[in-house]
Amino acid sequence: MPLVGVTANRLIDDGDQREWVRRRYIDALEAYAKVEIVVLPTRSIEDKNGIWRLVSRLDGLVLTGDESNIDPEYFVRSNTPRPAPTEGAYRRAERDPFRDMMVSLVLPAALQKGLPILGICRGLQELNVFFGGELYENVSADRNMLCHKEDLSLPRDRQYDPVHEVSVQSGGMLARILGSSGPILVNSLHSQGIRWLASGLNCEAVAPDGLIEAASVSNAGTFQVGVQWHPEWHIADDAVSKMLFAAFGKACSDFESKRLIADRAE
């Protein structure tokens, strides 16, 4: 089965540092993408050869969602040393510099390798920042925008119910995956969001307030898509989520087949 790297997040709880990722991502990938999983720790790696060795063993990459916001500082320093994340306490809901550091190093290696990539919520934003786009710091604070935050008065599972439509753009990768364009219901809940789409990305879906909620890497040649919503949450009951994960899994399987052929040729 294809081997897919899944980004972890750094959790500091009672002075103890932990790697964590929600089981829902792993369950959805195993059940509907039909891939094997390896969790990518948030360690700081500046050795590009080490990053290449890690990515060379993968057949796909998933940039998971998280409550923390992106610090663009880690994504814009392509030719200069990045600041080292500190071990001190910080509010997770605001920043996770350890996650930022890892993704800012793994993502360019994955793109250079041509890996299939699925970005979810924070993962879409990471793609946009990496390619030079800009983010709203708090989308829902803008009076002209929809409320893209969860209703905290609801039970946790109900917070991830669909809250608004997005219009899938005709002729794009997402429309091809779904077999049609037009509106779909999504469970979009986030603070940051795409303010300006990077020139290296294509718009795939837009919310009624104009916010871009899905994008793909231009001229990728494989599945490299980010969505602002959480398809992993209610996937058992949502046909769109199933198709999205299945398409990612198929791309990972195709990549694995080509990689194995190349390995045997060597």
* pLDDT tens profile 208-266: 888 999 999 999 999 999 999 999 999 999 999 999 999 999 999 999 999 998 888 87
The answer to whether the beta carbons of residues 60 and 251 sit under 8 Å apart is yes
Q: Letter for the amino acid at 98?
A: F
Catalytic pick from 121, 148, 213, 252? 121
Half-sphere exposure of 227 (CA within 13 A, CB side): 24
The answer to whether the beta carbons of residues 104 and 130 sit under 8 Å apart is yes
Half-sphere exposure of 56 (CA within 13 A, CB side): 8
| Alpha carbon distance 126, 121 (integer Å) | 9
Q: Letter for the amino acid at 224?
A: Q
List pLDDT tens digits, range 81-130. Answer: 555 655 544 444 577 888 888 898 899 999 999 999 999 999 999 999 99
pLDDT of residue 76: 60
Q: Considering the chain, what is the average pLDDT of its residues?
A: 85
Catalytic pick from 148, 164, 190, 230? 230
To the query of whether residue 232 is one of the catalytic residues in this protein, the response is yes
To the query of whether residue 234 is one of the catalytic residues in this protein, the response is no
Residue 52: enclosing H or E segment and its boundaries?
helix 48-55
Question: Which of the four pLDDT bands, split at 50, 70 and 90, describes residue 142?
Answer: low
Percentage of the chain lying above the pLDDT 90 cut: 53
Question: Which of the four pLDDT bands, split at 50, 70 and 90, describes residue 151?
Answer: low
> What is the phi/psi pair of residue 173, to 5°?
-65, -40
pLDDT of residue 91: 44
Catalytic pick from 126, 232, 252, 256? 232
pLDDT of residue 72: 73
The model carries a pTM of 0.89
To the query of whether residue 164 is one of the catalytic residues in this protein, the response is no
